[in-house]
A and B are shown apart, each in its own frame.
Chain A
């Protein structure tokens, strides 16, 4: 499993705008670079990131070649109710990783 860092507050007030930062370890190999033997390195990238808050998708991103290795994505959401945030990265070679964090809203 790839290492991932997710930063968000564990508690928030109702209606508060919270910032969420995500970072995941991934080579994001573009498919356009020659390897040490002169052959093209096969493409190996994350193609999609989805964050859902309970059952609602709150942030989605499509990723493409030439996005830096170890992609860092940051976004905001409104804290509505206590619940679970689910973060899923998926991409080439069957890559899928999901992380969850709980948020208490009070």
Chain B
């Protein structure tokens, strides 16, 4: 990531516009064969360790008197299939969009009377990966909910806005220059198909918010504070932009 600044001195060519549906590619397609094989083999994909964590948390009660996820939702393979493909969704109670991890924490606090799990913590990543894994290979299908439209529009505006000391917009890399190299990394199209995912650089599982923070510091912008509304807005736009691509959770990325 530190090498970005130097690489960017050689200015990137600009403005090709939105990616045509036929050209949409998951980050998976830009990886080495070895990393692709690791993702596709459940016995070698380290993300599956977190999915196992999530499966145990799904089954177990958080406290003797509080119902387990499974007591209300039953067999996740049936009840959670396709759910991750249509998040972020509008939450009527809070009057705004929530991502999948926030939705899980709403059940933790309101249905289990437990404390919310901290962002990026192992149990929250595990539960989110477990729920999202039930949608593996399902096409991303953002809801046609008009209440989400203004948030998605703000996400798109952020995506096109130049940011940071290096003064780059997400779109300049991910729409206009995908497939080219930035120092040692191939610039992918930034489709959120595999989150939470196992990044070899992180040596662990991480959320889409963590990934976006990486790109923000890459252009020397101050990342939005953890949990800021901007992340969900960006995710709404990224998911809409990736509609139709299959989910891969837990994906591997370099």
Q: Which residues of A contact B (CB under 8 A)?
A: 3-7, 21, 23-25, 27-28, 68-70, 72, 74
Contact = CB atoms under 8 A, between A and B. Distances in A.
A65 to B, nearest CB: 13
Nearest to A6: B43
B234 interface: no
Q: Interface on chain B toward A: helix, strand, loop, or mixed SS?
A: loop
B49 A5 contact: yes
Interface in B28-69: 41-44, 46, 48-49, 52-53
Interface of B: 41-44, 46, 48-49, 52-53, 200, 203-204
A3 B48 CA distance: 9
Contacts, number: 36
Given A68-B203, A69-B203, A23 B52 contact: no
A70 B44 contact: no
Contacts of A28: 203
A3 B53 contact: yes
Q: Interface on chain A toward B: helix, strand, loop, or mixed SS?
A: strand
Nearest to B126: A3
A70 B52 contact: no
A6 B43 CA distance: 7
B43 A70 contact: no
Nearest to A74: B44
A21 B44 contact: yes
A3 B203 contact: no
B33 to A, nearest CB: 16
B103 to A, nearest CB: 24
Given A5-B42, A23-B48, 19 more contacts: A3-B49, A4-B49, A5-B49, A5-B52, A6-B43, A21-B41, A21-B43, A21-B44, A23-B44, A23-B49, A24-B49, A25-B49, A27-B203, A68-B203, A69-B46, A70-B46, A70-B203, A70-B204, A74-B44
A71 to B, nearest CB: 9
B54 to A, nearest CB: 10
